[in-house]
Amino acid sequence: MSEQTDSNGSERKASADNIVNSSVFKLAWPIFVQALLAMLLGYADTLMLSGYDQNAVGAIGNANQILGFLTLAFTVISSASGIVVAQYLGAGQKDKINRIYTVCIAFNFLLSLLISGVVFFGSNMLLTLLHTPAEMTGNARSYMRIVGGFIFTQAVLDTMSRIFQSNGKTVFGMIISLGMNILNVFGNYLFLYGPLKSLGLGVSGVAVSTTFSRITGLCAAFVFFGLFIDGRISVKYLKPFPKDVLKTLLRIGIPTAGENISYNVSQLFVTGFVNTLGIVAINTKIYATILSNFAYLYSLSVAMATTIIVGHAIGAGNYDFAYRRVNKTMRSALIVSACIACTNFMISPVTLSLFTHSPEIADISSQIIGLGHKVLFVGIFLEFGRTSNLVIINSLKASGDVKFPTYLGIIAMWSCTVVCGYILGILCGFGLVGIWIAMAADEVIRGIIVAIRWKHGTWRGKSVVQKQEQGSLSDIPLH
């Protein structure tokens, strides 16, 4: 009996070592590329339609705004799956992993089927609620019915991506995203400018291309899972239905999804504020956000990589290692993100001019460049806070401490970003700079609070894995 126990303990330690001893960079760079590709995939349809039909661009924009909001429902399970899977792998509880995999996939599949039906049959109502212009409604409806009708592919694919990441296989998500981008761009070309242009499908053709790329990506994900992941997905793991697994996933996922929804709604308010400031502020916000995304994607990828390691360490019961790992990541992430933000600020007259060389906005280009330069200066402070939040908040959630960062985020978003943004930007007349200051204050204040919480160790002991199931990996070195 003791030999069997020792054997299980050794296997558990070896399994955790594989992930815990991985470098953050090794896990992070594929996540960075995947996030960048995902962002480009979202822009590809719009960019390629811009030379085809301007009304079509607006139609796609309206459709994607609705679809993007609805897909937040999937994050309830997909975000929780990453945390739960990482902790159980770290604890060596492989007998429960297959059940967790199956519940995650099945729940998101069924939920997304319901949403697909709502989008397909309720597209007219949804577009009316968004006040979509009549000349764009037809194209927007066609796009929504095709892409939204197959939205379950995105839901399951997002969950599979989380599973890959939790297993340390971050490169799989990158490969799938790259393949999807290539297929989508090629398909768009065929329908808009190539041999299939004669079909006259336009927006519908773009929707077919997007959907086909996602279906192909999902098929590739299941192939990767079968070949490289030590686990199975099967209906037999749902009999009897594992209510305890679903309850754990919802307990972790609902607060996380609530925070995401709150953030997206607060950003709608910010967009509304900026829209009252005129075309200069509107365009500057778009360009400054694009430039800032480079620092954001870096911080996000490092945070996600650290989350994987922390989840495994917490599952193995090694809280001290998790504490040291996050502190080490924080130091390097703050330095790099600050360097990117400072570089963005210093070269902004050059980079912003790349967006403003068009003759149509020549008369306001100097105003955009000047305003953007000020905004990106504030962005330096914003990135300090945002990097802290991404790394520490995601690590808190990986440890099982999900409620505190969620409540803090919702309070800070609405009190700082929305209320103070309106006061500084609109009432006090500071415009876009005032709104950016409010967003920076939100990030910095939250960053300080969560850093204090991490230091005090309130998150210890909140693991979703039962303590008696955890092993000890106190001898893992910190690399």
Task: Give the pLDDT mean for 225-243.
Answer: 91
Q: Determine which of 104-113, 166-175, 273-282 has the lowest per-residue pLDDT on average.
A: 273-282
Output the pLDDT for position 65: 72
How much of the chain, in percent, has pLDDT values that exceed 70? 88
pLDDT digits (tens, 9 = 90+) for 306-355: 999 999 999 988 999 999 999 999 999 999 999 999 999 999 999 888 77
Listed residue (28, 88, 102, 21) closest to 315, CA to CA: 88
Q: How far apart are CA 125 and CA 123, in angstroms?
A: 6
Listed residue (103, 67, 465, 352) closest to 250, CA to CA: 103
Most confident listed range (142-146, 258-262, 389-393): 389-393
Tell me how far apart the terminal alpha carbons of the chain are, to the nearest angstrom: 35
pLDDT of residue 228 exceeding 50: yes
Q: How far apart are CA 351 and CA 196, in angstroms?
A: 37
For residues 80 and 223, the answer to whether their CB atoms sit within 8 Å is no
pLDDT digits (tens, 9 = 90+) for 364-390: 888 989 999 999 999 999 999 999 999
**How wide is the angle at C-alpha 89 spanned by C-alphas 87 and 90, nearest 5°?**
65
Output the pLDDT for position 143: 87
Q: How far apart are CA 471 and CA 202, in angstroms?
A: 57
Listed residue (218, 256, 238) closest to 98, CA to CA: 238
- Break the chain into its structural domains and give their ranges: 11-241, 252-479
pLDDT digits (tens, 9 = 90+) for 39-79: 776 667 666 766 666 566 667 766 777 787 788 888 888 88
For residues 32 and 294, the answer to whether their CB atoms sit within 8 Å is no
| Alpha carbon 127 to chain centroid, angstroms | 25
Cα torsion 467, 471, 476, 479: sign: negative
Output the pLDDT for position 16: 47
Torsion angles phi and psi, residue 200, rounded to 5 = 65, 30
Output the pLDDT for position 304: 94
35's tokens: 């996030």
Output the pLDDT for position 9: 44
SS in 3 state form for the chain?
A: CHHHHHHHHHHHHHHHHHHHCCCHHHHHHHHHHHHHHHHHHHHHHHHHHHCCCHHHHHHHHHHHHHHHHHHHHHHHHHHHHHHHHHHHHHCCCHHHHHHHHHHHHHHHHHHHHHHHHHHHHHHHHHHHHCCCCHHHHHHHHHHHHHHHHCHHHHHHHHHHHHHHHHCCCHHHHHHHHHHHHHHHHHHHHHHHCCHHHHHCCCHHHHHHHHHHHHHHHHHHHHHHHHHHCCCCCCHHHHCCCCHHHHHHHHHHHHHHHHHHHHHHHHHHHHHHHHHCCCHHHHHHHHHHHHHHHHHHHHHHHHHHHHHHHHHHHHHCCCHHHHHHHHHHHHHHHHHHHHHHHHHHHHCHHHHHHHHCCCHHHCCCHHHHHHHHHHHHHHHHHHHHHHHHHHHHHHHHHHCCCCHHHHHHHHHHHHHHHHHHHHHHHHHCCCHHHHHHHHHHHHHHHHHHHHHHHHHHCCCCCCCCCCHHHCCCCCCCCCC
Length of the chain as a residue count: 479
pLDDT of residue 176 exceeding 80: yes
Task: Give the pLDDT mean for 216-239.
Answer: 93
Output the pLDDT for position 2: 41
Q: How far apart are CA 353 and CA 358, in angstroms?
A: 9
Listed residue (202, 196, 194, 47) closest to 136, CA to CA: 202
Output the pLDDT for position 57: 66
> Could you tell me the pTM of the whole model?
0.82
Output the pLDDT for position 477: 41
Q: Helix 348-355 to helix 319-346 angle, to the nearest 10 degrees?
A: 70
Residues near 446 by beta carbon (within 8 Å), at least 6 away in sequence = 385, 388, 389, 393, 408, 409, 412
pLDDT digits (tens, 9 = 90+) for 382-438: 999 999 999 999 999 999 999 999 999 999 999 999 999 999 999 999 999 999 999
For residues 136 and 179, the answer to whether their CB atoms sit within 8 Å is no
pLDDT of residue 357 exceeding 60: yes
226's tokens: 């079968």
Output the pLDDT for position 222: 96
Residues near 158 by beta carbon (within 8 Å), at least 6 away in sequence = 74, 75, 78, 108
